Amino acid sequence: MVWVFCAVCLDGSLPAYHLHRGSGAGATNWLLQFEGGGWCNDVESCLIRAGTRRGSTTLMNKQEVFSGILSNNASFNPDFYNWNRVKLRYCDGASFTGDSHFRNKSSVLYFRGQRIWDAIITHLLPRGLAHARKALLSGCSAGGLSVFHHCDDFSRKLPNATVKCLSDAGFFLDAKDIASNFTMRSLYEDLVTLQGVEKNLNEDCKASLANPKLCFFPQYVLRYITTPFFLLNSAYDVYQINHILVPPSADIQGLWKSCKTQLSECNTAQINLLQGFRREMLRASLFIFRGSRRDGMFINSCFSHCQSELQPTWLALDSPRIHNKTMAEAVGDWYFGRNVTKLVDCPYPCDRHCHNLIPQIAQNDDL
């Protein structure tokens, strides 16, 4: 673990990253991966977070196992195994975008995500990043959301490199829940206000919306990103099912409890709502699918969340596939221009390759 100065985590500890140096032909190429881990949107939740590894580097593991897209094994990660691979530790609670603080008589919280991003990049530039020939900015979950907000800035900082961006499980939808409330929108609006995020959001996006706070959502900012972008996501993202489509506040009676833990317990109406959520995700990302050749996507129909960091889902004998192509192959083909990669899976339950976090319904072609 490498600590950096000029910024602090929620609790005031120094931010940090892990670096595994590249070798051979990959020695001048860089992959930076944002760590994920949710958000905090009010003082109470941020105070709790500050006392965990999500808000303090003093509580983090000092060493990390790199797997999936971060693996140094050519068999498991053939396109990026010998690159310089960096994992940016997440300790701010706003996807590396905030710039504010909170203080009362007994507590202080530092919302310095934007400064953490700037400090880590400043630290890495003289250590080889400034001379990168190829670079990929990626992230998972809340880290995948970070990619949307820092992609173009990363590209500007490396004017002589081929820079592209990959978001894994970061395409969080601005969608109504089953009670017709925008639960996730409320959370993000509170977060943006508390952590001083709005000034760091994309200016073109903010100018286009009556409510500029909505630019924290990737579906609104993506159209303004000019750097080549790859969207890796499940159409039935488990986090989004549990927190956007069916948050606890929308299911007071617990009618979805069985369905969310065992798909065989879902009734027809619930399955139809899950299929509707998939369609909403595809609509929100459709302009990528129809757009330029520079962008790519891999949208599978697995009940999962974060697939690039896990070896079984990134690249293994039984990894998820779309048209017989793994996500590792799809990302590599896109990054290196070997093929236009815009893959969208058929609806559940047709995919036989999934590593589901929710137990499957018995495969039934009549479902």
Catalytic entry in 177, 237, 251, 351: 237
Catalytic entry in 71, 95, 141, 304: 141
Rg of the chain over CA atoms, in angstroms? Answer: 20
Q: Six-digit token pair at 182?
A: 């925008």
d(CA 296, CA 310): 20
Q: Which helix (H) or strand (E) holds 156?
A: helix 142-157
For residue 198, the SS3 value is: helix
d(CA 320, CA 343): 12
Contacts of residue 166, defined as CB under 8 A and 6 or more positions apart, other chains included, come to 136, 137, 138, 139, 147, 229, 230, 232, 308, 331
**Cα 264 from chain centroid (whole Å):** 28
Q: Report the candidate in 246, 229, 347 with the shortest Cα–Cα distance to residue 285.
A: 229
Where residue 242 falls (left for φ over 0; alpha for ψ -120 to 50; beta otherwise) is alpha
- The single residue listed with the structure tokens 């192509």 is 325
d(CA 59, CA 51): 8
Catalytic residue flag (residue 305)? yes
Catalytic residue flag (residue 323)? no
SS3 content of the chain, % helix, strand, coil (to 5): 40, 15, 45
Catalytic entry in 13, 149, 305, 345: 305
For residues 141 and 306, is the Cβ–Cβ distance under 8 A?
yes
100-108's contacts with Cβ under 8 Å and 24+ in sequence apart are 100/194, 100/195, 100/196, 102/43, 102/46, 102/194, 107/43, 107/47, 108/12
Catalytic residue flag (residue 168)? no
For residues 53 and 16, is the Cβ–Cβ distance under 8 A?
no
Q: Six-digit token pair at 153?
A: 């800035």
Catalytic residues: 141, 237, 305
